[in-house]
A = this chain, B = another copy of it.
Amino acid sequence: MTEPFASNPRDPAAYADRNRDRFVEELKAFVRHPSVSAEPRRKANVAHCAQWLSAHLRDIGMPRVRVFPTPGHPIVYADCLRRPGAPTLLIYGHYDVQPPDPLSEWRVSPFAPAVVGERLFGRGASDDKGQLFAHVKALEAHLRTTGLPLNVKCLFEGEEEVGSPHLRGFVERNADALVADAAVVSDMKILGPDQPSIAISLRGSLVLELTVLGPRTDLHSGNFGGFVHNPLQVLCEMIARLHDRHGRIAVPGIYDSVKSFDAAERLRMRRTGPSDRQLLADAGIVAPWGEQGFSLYERYTIRPALTINGITGGYQGPGAKAVIPARGSAKIGIRLPPGQEPDDVERLFRRYILRISPPSARVRIRRLMAGPPSEVDVAHPAVRAAAAAYVRGFGARPVLTRLGGSIPIVETFNRILRVPTVLMGFALPDAAVHAPNENLHLPTFHKAIATCIAFLAEFAAIERRRPRSRNGGFSPSRSRA
């Protein structure tokens, strides 16, 4: 890592500016790892990605870096705790990615990242490798110039896309070591390349698998069609009863716990949030759908949504096969706005499915993932520091937004560590996150690095005036994976 000469070699922002091209090349190396946490055959790839990331954290000068194995994929931890009087920031990100299928719709191979125009295409480019990497490069810029102005702990997991099954336990067992004054998560969108935003709420997520079992074995549809209740038909008939005609979820009681927002907040959302027209364009659809009485922005942020993420059963190959299949199943994702708890919603869902199951089929429900929704305290110093940092990185004040996605770790930090989290996103609305042709807008990536550099300084400055929390960090004997 040789640096060219420059006018101000001790300024972190100038350092980042001088190293733009190298940063992009390093990100490409990061994206090249097919760290798909959902696919068992990718287990070694995920592990290699963790090793790459930990080596990179050592290279940039983080004094302590550790890889913690879990029963699933490893957790990468790093810290630099050389400022005893200064605040401590916990930086969270994830290096695992969504499965890349359908592969045929990608313009580049998803794990052979390539720059086209101003964008880097590749699975994970925005979610979350690019956003995680903006923080890593900000740490490097400080470490290689002025040194870090505060204490930093990095917690990078490899199981976010499968619901972080081992992260909560890890945080619980190592709460003393992970404690901080605030956490920052960058795993979300902003409104546009010139309009940053800070998220103030997230929806939770509950994913259930609904399986319908019919005959013991596949049957010939000619010899049996007419008197056997086809499990795929039963599955469709039950899924059709999950919404009413007005786009509302038909599960009784599911809206009871949803938090109501007052007229002032709904007005603020209407004024600052994306318009219906913008959202239709983002989604690439012509006609909206969903719960009447709410804007499209409200529908995907402060209202629940039930989506069929996948469905499978019977013959799916080319041509036809005359079969009544023995079973069919669907993956059903429910997004939980502030107020809802996954356990409650699952109980209501199970009760309803039991009620609408026909006697001619057996039904099974399995939980695949669950995490509660979150709200952020907008008065917290970390939020103010983030706002100031965005002004320096983007030249614009951030808008406070509400998000439809889920980041369960935010509630884990809140409930276990009692640490508030600031949600600083850097992905653009058209980043194609979780979809083919996921991409990262590179000018925004460089602004993100500048923002992260500023955030470290701003948070150090604001927090220096407040009393310090205890700050353990990991000691080899105390940490448990």
Contacts and interface: CB of A to CB of B under 8 A. Distances in A.
Nearest to A335: B225
B322 A316 contact: no
B335 A283 contact: no
A4 interface: no
A52 interface: no
Interface string A306-325: 11111111111111111111
Interface string A426-466: 00000011111100000000000000000000000000000
Nearest to A225: B305
A96 to B, nearest CB: 11
Contacts of A317: 38-39, 99, 101
A272 interface: no
A217 B310 contact: no
Interface in A245-300: 279, 282-291, 296, 299-300
A286 B335 CA distance: 36
Given A225-B333, A226-B291, A404-B223, A233 B435 contact: no
Nearest to A249: B226
Interface string A227-248: 1111011011101111100000
Nearest to A228: B283
B284 A215 contact: yes
Contacts of A32: none
A305 B221 contact: yes
A201 to B, nearest CB: 12
A75 B140 CA distance: 71
A392 B311 CA distance: 51
Identical copies of this chain, number: 2
Contact of A307 (B161, B230, B307, B434): B230
A434 B320 CA distance: 12
Size class of the contact patch on chain A: 35 or more
B287 A360 contact: yes
Interface in A390-419: 403-406
A130 B44 CA distance: 47
A218 to B, nearest CB: 4
Contacts of A358: 289
A191 to B, nearest CB: 13
A446 to B, nearest CB: 24
A303 interface: yes
Interface in A344-372: 358-360, 368-369
A226 B311 CA distance: 19
Given A217-B284, A309-B321, 7 more contacts: A99-B315, A102-B218, A220-B434, A221-B335, A230-B308, A285-B360, A309-B322
10 contacts: A38-B319, A101-B317, A214-B285, A218-B435, A222-B405, A223-B403, A226-B303, A232-B239, A309-B322, A321-B331
